[in-house]
Amino acid sequence: MKIMAVDLGKARTGIAVCDEGEMLASPVTVIHEHNEERLLKKIGQLVKEQQPKLFVVGLPRNMDGSEGESAQRCRDFAEKLQMHTQLPVTLRDERGTTITAHGYLNSTDTRGKKRKAVVDAVAATIILQDYLDFRRNQKNSQ
């Protein structure tokens, strides 16, 4: 099943998808949009192109596991995304994904404007790959 991940940000939102076999997550794009309605429309366009069957939205929890304002914003957005696309949405803990994304970009020597342009898509890819690994482990343990 094709799954699309969303790393919601205030100004930039990273998008990633996986293959039908749910083996590999890949970055798709970064949407530069502050307005939530326009962001939902742009994601709707990507849904038409990519044809996912499920969304995974990163949930930014605090390091102690508690949830703050950003987490509530993501929960609200996930609800709107589900209503807008009519696709199921699951939330996935995204603690540390941006730091991991920066680590990957350091290892590929991606710097400056190019780094800023892709870090959110890389973070979405990490969120999705984590979710795919979780699903695979759930299937294997049954």
* Residue 71 belongs to domain with CATH number: 3.30.420.140
Residue reference for tokens 């696309």: 85
70, 76 contact by CB (below 8 A): no
- Which pLDDT belongs to residue 49? 97
- Which pLDDT belongs to residue 115? 55
Whether the predicted pLDDT of 64 surpasses 60: yes
In the chain, what percentage of residues exceed pLDDT 90?
64
- Which pLDDT belongs to residue 99? 63
6, 124 contact by CB (below 8 A): yes
Whether the predicted pLDDT of 61 surpasses 60: yes
For 44, other C-beta atoms within 10 Å of its C-beta total 12
- How far apart are alpha carbons 6 and 125 in whole angstroms? 9
The range of the structural domain enclosing residue 76 comes to: 3-140
Does residue 107 or residue 138 have the better pLDDT? 138
43, 81 contact by CB (below 8 A): yes
Whether the predicted pLDDT of 27 surpasses 90: yes
Does residue 29 or residue 140 have the better pLDDT? 29
Q: How many domains does the structure of the chain reveal?
A: 1
- Which pLDDT belongs to residue 15? 97
